[in-house]
């Protein structure tokens, strides 16, 4: 690691641009630095999927990763804080699949103005899953509905102005009978048949007996559905119906980020080149996926912390919910060796996702296989987890300590950074958990800049300027 060849004079301790405190329920796992073979020359999949992920050597710096996908409870906490900060609002969709839906979108005060984060009205995916009409169009013909429990579990109380986790046993949150109404598609995409259908019986232990989770449910006595998950249980399910901006906005609010493709695959291979992203690289039965290869799957997500953790302590990298990735999607990879790759394409709205989900097949569980979608999409399959930066090596300096390259003093409550630079340059400061404390483009004049700060004494921080980093501690 390069040491910063400038003097850092610590005076004032009060940063603007502070990240919020990460919810205590989110557990971060340390992922050590290393070099691994990214991609696979022996993937199971379609020819274009195989071609998209050629093997190449990638070196990864140490980082932290949330042990599990972000849950409904954790996302509710973010939404309420972001609403209070004026970063989000509830809007009604006006075009395409979002038309008429209640959506959470960014305000002009956010970094994602006008972008949709979350769909409050999300319901199960409706497709012609079995292609019985042989037209290879999922949006024409007879529908085979998914499990109605694949729905949005976050609601908004307009009286209290608060988001909350909805209760499956509260008929004002979920009228499960009405949620089972649907119309088949017509023979032309965008049209519907006129006969109303309802498949409630199929999910309540009768009909075609797809599931019995709604057995005993009535609007008058929702508690009679004893097999229906409780509010406490769905609170710990991964949040779904997340758009890419909803995942990124959450991470950014807490000074974190979404994993890059390289970070995600490195974590999934767990230092042992695992073929599948399960705890031992092979026991796919531990994951939540469409084992029976049903069309459609009759399942849904399970608790974010469930199954067996991999050697890095991470749960459900394979299956459960697809996980949004930070990178734009570009195929194929370059086969050149690279360190900490991140792909960002100007103007691109195509984003990566990894890991498979509860309703997909075994090939999607492979650690190296790649998928993508537009960042404005996100249904009952889409979730995410977060990462933070860690710098495990470097120079640690105490209060009042000097060196030829770095000088740190804590006096008048400000940070003065000296370097032979001019104009605007971004400075980032993280703590050792990877939480970003400060990130701003600052203006260097005469080779120096002063920043207000509220760094705490006796804590270690990492300051990054361009390609250079330094780890320091205030005592």
pLDDT at 131: 82
| Cβ atoms of residues 450 and 442 within 8 Å | no
- The structure's pTM equals 0.82
Give me the sign of the Cα torsion angle 254, 255, 260, 263.
negative
Of 369, 301, 315, nearest in space to 66 by CA? 315
- Given a cut of 70, whether residue 287 has pLDDT beyond it is yes
Across the range 162-180, mean pLDDT stands at 98
Chain centre to alpha carbon of residue 347 = 21
Domains detected in the chain: 8-21+394-474 (2.60.40), 28-68+254-385 (3.90.1580.10), 72-235 (no CATH)
* Rounded Cα gap, residues 217 and 226, in angstroms: 8
Cβ atoms of 289 and 365 within 8 Å: the answer is yes
State how beta strands 56-60 and 338-339 pair.
parallel
Average pLDDT estimate for 337-341: 95
Stretch 172-182: mean pLDDT, rounded? 97
Mean residue pLDDT across the chain = 87
DSSP state letter for 242? B
Tracing tokens 């009604």 back to the chain, one arrives at 92
More confidently predicted of 445 and 52:
52
For residue 206, the 8-state DSSP code is S
Could you report the per-residue pLDDT of 29-40, keeping only the tens digit for each? 999 999 999 999
For residues 427 and 442, what is the distance between their CA atoms, to the nearest angstrom? 7
Side-chain-facing half-sphere of 108: CA atoms under 13 Å: 0
**What single string gives the DSSP state of each residue in 268-331?**
HHTTTT-SBSSTTSS-GGGSBS-TT--SS-------SS-S---TTS---SSBSSEEEEEEEP-S
């Amino acid at each position: 690691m390069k040491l910063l060849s400038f003097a850092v004079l610590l005076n004032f301790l009060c940063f603007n641009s502070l990240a919020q405190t990460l919810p205590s329920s989110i557990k971060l796992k340390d992922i050590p630095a290393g070099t691994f073979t990214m991609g696979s020359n022996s993937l199971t999949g379609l020819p274009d999927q195989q071609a998209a992920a050629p093997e190449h050597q990638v070196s990864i710096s140490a980082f932290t990763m949330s042990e599990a996908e972000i849950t409904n409870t954790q996302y509710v906490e973010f939404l309420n804080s972001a609403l209070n900060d004026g970063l989000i609002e509830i809007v009604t969709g006006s075009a395409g699949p979002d038309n008429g839906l209640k959506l959470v979108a960014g305000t002009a005060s956010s970094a994602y103005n006008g972008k949709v984060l979350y769909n409050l009205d999300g319901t199960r995916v409706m497709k012609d899953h079995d292609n019985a009409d042989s037209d290879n169009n999922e949006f024409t013909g007879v529908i085979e509905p998914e499990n109605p429990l694949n729905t949005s579990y976050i609601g908004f109380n307009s009286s209290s102005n608060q988001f909350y986790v909805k209760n499956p046993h509260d008929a004002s949150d979920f009228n499960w009978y009405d949620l089972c109404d649907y119309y088949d598609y017509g023979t032309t995409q965008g049209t519907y048949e006129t006969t109303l259908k309802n498949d409630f019986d199929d999910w309540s232990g009768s009909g075609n007996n797809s599931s019995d989770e709604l057995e005993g449910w009535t609007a008058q006595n929702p508690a009679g559905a004893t097999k229906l998950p409780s509010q406490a249980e769905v609170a710990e399910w991964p949040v779904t119906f997340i758009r890419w901006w909803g995942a990124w906005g959450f991470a950014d609010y807490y000074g974190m980020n979404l994993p890059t493709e390289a970070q995600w695959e490195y974590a999934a291979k767990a230092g042992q080149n695992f073929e599948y992203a399960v705890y031992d690289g092979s026991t796919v039965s531990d994951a939540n996926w469409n084992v029976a290869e049903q069309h459609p799957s009759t399942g849904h997500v399970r608790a974010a912390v469930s199954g067996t953790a991999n050697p890095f302590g991470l749960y459900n990298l394979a299956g459960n919910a697809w996980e949004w990735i930070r990178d734009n999607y570009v195929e194929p990879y370059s086969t050149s060796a690279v360190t900490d790759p991140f792909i960002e394409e100007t103007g691109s709205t195509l984003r990566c996702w990894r890991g498979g989900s509860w309703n997909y097949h075994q090939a999607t569980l492979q650690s190296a296989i790649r998928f993508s979608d537009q960042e404005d999409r996100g249904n009952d399959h889409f979730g995410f987890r977060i990462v933070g930066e860690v710098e495990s090596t470097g120079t640690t300096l105490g209060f009042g300590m000097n060196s030829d390259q770095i000088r740190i003093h804590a006096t008048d409550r400000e940070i003065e950074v000296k370097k032979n630079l001019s104009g605007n340059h971004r400075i980032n400061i993280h703590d050792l958990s990877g939480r970003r404390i400060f990130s701003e483009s600052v203006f260097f004049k005469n080779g120096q800049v002063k920043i207000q700060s509220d760094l705490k004494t006796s804590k270690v921080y990492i300051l990054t300027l361009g390609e250079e980093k330094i780890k320091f501690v205030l005592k």
